[in-house]
């Protein structure tokens, strides 16, 4: 049976293509939603961009159809705008008449009165869905077409119990073929494998699964010092194994604060660019989440504008460079002047082609799935991309731990032979930092 979906503003600002995600059903955009989208279009972040993209979609449809009567979508669905702003006479008296959310609820009730088809309100706002449930006749759903259950997120590491003789064989023959092992789980390409003696002895080994050869091989890259940094746990060793392998073009590192995500990525980038000369430049970027003012309003040159948001990157870079140069700030400036290092806002990456570079995207949990796709598709020949982030620390108003671009990318790319992922679990910054990340 055909359904009617009434969209909340946050769905559109999260994904401007959401109107095409409801198959051959009817999608209704309340007038108050158009007003709220219009108020966001001048922003210079992803929210503003999504508002502008959505407006262009509607403008294209407007040239062919009457939006108030219904526009035919390519997927067979119909898009309509509800141009009347209803009075709040269908809602309980306690509902605030000045709130846009309540006008959207009222629109859903109005549509429901006029049809015998199921009407569903779609919102990413949990409070909006709660209010809809209070009004028993309104069915409400979260927008989840790109959602990932964070509790089921691929960790990038598998524990396998073997006999001691098989672990010896792993070391002596520099690997084990998976077909000859008694294991039940399916391994993903470039998944880190922790081999342990099933009889409980202390014998163990770390390896990585090579899907093409269908074998688990010992680590090659992670046993050495990388720009003064040594791995402190098995997950960090696994991260270095992925970061330093040039055949792996995309690496995702997920973990809470203090687990070393950014530091490991930066150390690997410096090593690859300055010591091995494998890439011509290290690019470090992160989303700019405006706090009242966008980057364009701040005084100074680009570096001074970026400083408030890029300070964690500057701190990590100065720590790494400080181990080799007493004047770390000067060394950092020198790398930028020689065009070996570029620090850029993520908004300036769009539209570029990026070949032969080691690119780190920090705080990637603040990116939408569409933005992550934009970044990955900018990658040129011989470029490696690393995305790091903590899905539990999201500053974006329309993302959460299940719907952000980082977790979306991890799940979508986990079985590809040129990608790798590891979830870092142990904090190594300090005892206090680990305590704070775990308890606060």
Long-range Cβ contacts of 432-436 (<8 Å, 24+ apart): 433/257, 433/258, 434/258, 436/257
Nearest-CA neighbor of 281 among 225, 228, 355? 355
Give the integer Cα–Cα distance in Å for 121 and 132. 8
Mean pLDDT over 170-185 rounds to 87
C-beta separation of 188 from 199 below 8 A: no
Instruction: Identify the band that residue 80 occupies on the pLDDT scale cut at 50, 70 and 90.
Output: very high
Q: What is the mean pLDDT of the chain?
A: 88
Q: Which residues contact 152 (CB under 8 A, 6 or more apart)?
A: none
Residue 102 has pLDDT above 50, yes or no: yes
Whole-prediction pTM value? 0.80
Cα four-point dihedral sign 166, 167, 169, 170: positive
Give the integer Cα–Cα distance in Å for 228 and 254. 22
Instruction: Identify the band that residue 291 occupies on the pLDDT scale cut at 50, 70 and 90.
Output: very low
User: Bigger pLDDT: 321 or 84?
Assistant: 321
pLDDT score, position 299: 57
pLDDT score, position 289: 61
Instruction: Identify the band that residue 384 occupies on the pLDDT scale cut at 50, 70 and 90.
Output: very high
pLDDT score, position 397: 78
Least confident stretch, 7-11, 257-261, 291-295, 296-300: 291-295
Instruction: Identify the band that residue 305 occupies on the pLDDT scale cut at 50, 70 and 90.
Output: low
C-beta separation of 65 from 71 below 8 A: yes
Residue 440 has pLDDT above 90, yes or no: no
Residue 145 has pLDDT above 50, yes or no: yes
C-beta separation of 209 from 178 below 8 A: yes
Rounded to the nearest 10°, the torsion over CA 352, 353, 356, 362 is 50
Give the integer Cα–Cα distance in Å for 141 and 372. 25
Q: Which residues contact 412 (CB under 8 A, 6 or more apart)?
A: none
pLDDT score, position 318: 87
pLDDT score, position 394: 87
**Hey, how many other C-beta atoms are within 10 angstroms of the C-beta on 101?**
20
Least confident stretch, 40-44, 332-336, 430-434: 430-434
Report helix, strand or coil for 434.
helix
Q: Which residues contact 160 (CB under 8 A, 6 or more apart)?
A: 181, 183, 185, 193, 194, 195, 196
pLDDT score, position 293: 43
Instruction: Identify the band that residue 83 occupies on the pLDDT scale cut at 50, 70 and 90.
Output: confident
Mean pLDDT over 206-227 rounds to 90
Mean pLDDT over 281-300 rounds to 66
Burial (CB < 10 A; 0-12, 13-18, 19+), residue 265, is buried
DSSP state of 404: S
Of all residues in the chain, the percent with pLDDT exceeding 70 is 91
C-beta separation of 26 from 78 below 8 A: yes
Q: Which residues contact 379 (CB under 8 A, 6 or more apart)?
A: 249, 354, 359, 385
């Amino acid at each position: 049976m055909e359904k009617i979906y009434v969209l909340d503003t946050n769905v559109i600002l999260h994904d401007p293509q959401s109107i095409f995600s409801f198959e051959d059903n009817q999608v209704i955009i309340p007038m108050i939603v158009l007003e709220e989208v219009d108020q966001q279009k001048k922003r210079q972040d992803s929210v503003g961009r999504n508002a502008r993209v959505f407006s262009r979609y509607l403008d294209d449809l407007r040239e062919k159809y009457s939006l108030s009567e219904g526009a035919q979508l390519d997927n067979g669905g119909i898009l309509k705008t509800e141009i009347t702003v209803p009075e709040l006479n269908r809602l309980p008296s306690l509902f605030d008449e000045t709130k846009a959310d309540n006008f959207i609820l009222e629109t859903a009730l109005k549509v429901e009165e006029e049809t015998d088809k199921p009407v569903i309100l779609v919102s990413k706002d949990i409070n909006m869905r709660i209010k809809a449930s209070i009004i028993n006749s309104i069915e409400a759903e979260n927008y989840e077409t790109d959602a990932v259950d964070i509790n089921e997120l691929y960790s990038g590491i598998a524990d396998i119990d073997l006999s001691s003789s098989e672990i010896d064989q792993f070391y002596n023959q520099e690997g084990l073929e998976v077909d000859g092992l008694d294991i039940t789980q399916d391994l993903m390409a470039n998944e880190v494998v922790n081999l342990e003696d099933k009889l409980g002895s202390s014998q163990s080994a770390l390896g990585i699964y090579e899907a093409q050869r269908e074998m688990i091989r010992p680590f090659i890259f992670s046993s050495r010092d990388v720009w003064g940094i040594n791995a402190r746990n098995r997950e960090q060793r696994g991260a270095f194994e992925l970061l330093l392998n040039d055949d792996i073009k995309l690496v995702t590192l997920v973990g809470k604060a203090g687990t070393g995500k950014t530091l490991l990525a930066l150390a690997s980038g410096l090593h690859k660019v300055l010591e091995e000369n494998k890439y011509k430049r290290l690019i470090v970027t992160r989303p700019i989440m405006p706090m009242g003012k966008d980057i364009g309003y701040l005084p100074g040159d680009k570096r001074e504008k970026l400083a408030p948001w890029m300070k964690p990157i500057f701190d990590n870079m100065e720590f790494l460079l400080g181990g080799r140069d007493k004047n770390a700030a000067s060394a950092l400036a020198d790398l930028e002047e020689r065009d070996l290092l570029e620090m850029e806002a993520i908004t300036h990456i769009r539209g570029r082609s990026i070949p032969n570079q080691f690119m780190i995207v920090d705080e990637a949990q603040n990116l939408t799935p569409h933005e992550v796709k934009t970044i990955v598709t900018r990658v040129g020949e011989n470029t490696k991309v690393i995305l790091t982030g903590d899905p539990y620390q999201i500053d974006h108003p329309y993302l959460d731990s299940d719907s952000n671009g980082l977790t979306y990318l991890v799940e979508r790319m986990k079985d590809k032979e040129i990608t790798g992922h590891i979830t870092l679990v142990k904090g190594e910054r300090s005892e206090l930092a680990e305590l704070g990340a775990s308890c606060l």
